[in-house]
Amino acid sequence: MTSTLVFEQLLNGLQFGLMLFLIAAGLTLVFGIMDVLNLAHGSLYMVGAYLAATLVAATGSFLAGVVLAVLATGIIGILLEVLLVRRLYKRDHLSQVLATFAVILIADDLVRIIWGPAPIMLAAPAALAGPVELLPGFFYPAYRLLIIAVGLALAIGLYLLVARTRTGMLVRAGSSDREMAAIMGVRVDRLFAVIFVLGAMLAAVAGALLGPLLAVEVGMGENVLILALVVIVIGGIGSIRGAFVGAVLVGVVDTAGRAFLPGLLGTFLNTAAAAQLGPALAAIAIYVVMAAVLFFRPQGLFPARA
């Protein structure tokens, strides 16, 4: 195990964690601020990836295809919020779970009808296909560096939006006391719609950027939704800072575990058994971390209301 390999896997974990943050941030805002448990959030991530693959192929430009896919997913988010989610604000969480779970099933079937059951390809831009020398003798894929840069920029921008702007203040006011905010003239329904659409667009960014690294396939949203829920439990529901820390922690634990555990287990087990057991233990480690946080800090590492 060399220092170069450790550094590379830490960067991989940071890259994966930042994409998890983009998904978890929208989910934690919708749940923590709007008090809506939206299980269909993973479907927005999937739709964003499919739209990006289609539009990149149609336009011949990766940037144009991703931007158009994010905007199109935002429009879908508006329709979903107006037609369904807005009717769930005052309903109990069971009703929200059942309604948004139905959206998952509908979205998966619609994707099969439109794009077919087989995975589709989304190629990274040719200009970023090669590696970049970060340190003497250490090369890292340029496209992964782009993902890290975009993820960090969006994380900073989202934090500033929620914590430092008038819009963020109004959203927090609507979350704390919706009726009082409405009496004071705040259009709470409009603010909540903005938050929901913002979350949908962030999920689409993650789907579009991860498309060249992962398979764009039916059901991809359900797997990442589970990790996003783990992230917001670890970080604290409704907390952008908590979502960021939780996502990076989950990304590093998962990536490092899959990279290093098979080699460590290989000293005790045969190669085949170590290769099979290592990734399984890495996946379990994420839930062990979540269980430890729930035991010692049930409200999460950085709760929204300390």
Per-residue confidence in pLDDT tens, the chain, 306 aa: 577 778 888 888 898 898 899 888 888 878 776 778 888 889 999 999 999 999 999 998 999 999 999 999 999 999 999 888 888 877 888 888 899 999 999 999 999 999 999 989 888 888 888 888 887 878 888 888 998 999 899 988 888 887 788 877 777 666 566 667 677 777 777 778 888 899 899 999 999 999 888 889 998 888 888 888 899 889 887 778 888 899 999 998 888 888 888 777 777 777 777 778 878 888 888 899 999 998 888 888 887 654
How far, in Å, CA of 126 to CA of 294, rounded?
44
Q: Model-level pTM?
A: 0.88
pLDDT (0 to 100) of residue 174? 63
**Side chain identity at 119, as an amino acid letter?**
P
Beta bridge pairs of residue 216: 120
Per the CB < 8 A criterion, the answer to whether 25 and 158 are in contact is yes
Residue pair 301/246 in contact (Cβ under 8 Å)? The answer is yes
* Residue 194 CA neighbour count, 13 Å, CB half: 14
Provide the CA 105 distance to its chain's centre, in angstroms: 19
pLDDT (0 to 100) of residue 306: 44
Q: How far apart are CA 143 and CA 36, in angstroms?
A: 35
Q: 131 burial class (0-12, 13-18, 19+ CB within 10 angstroms)? A: middle
Cα separation of 124 and 114, whole Å?
23
Query: Residue 133 pairs with which residues in a beta bridge?
Result: 139
Residue for token digits 């098979």? Answer: 262
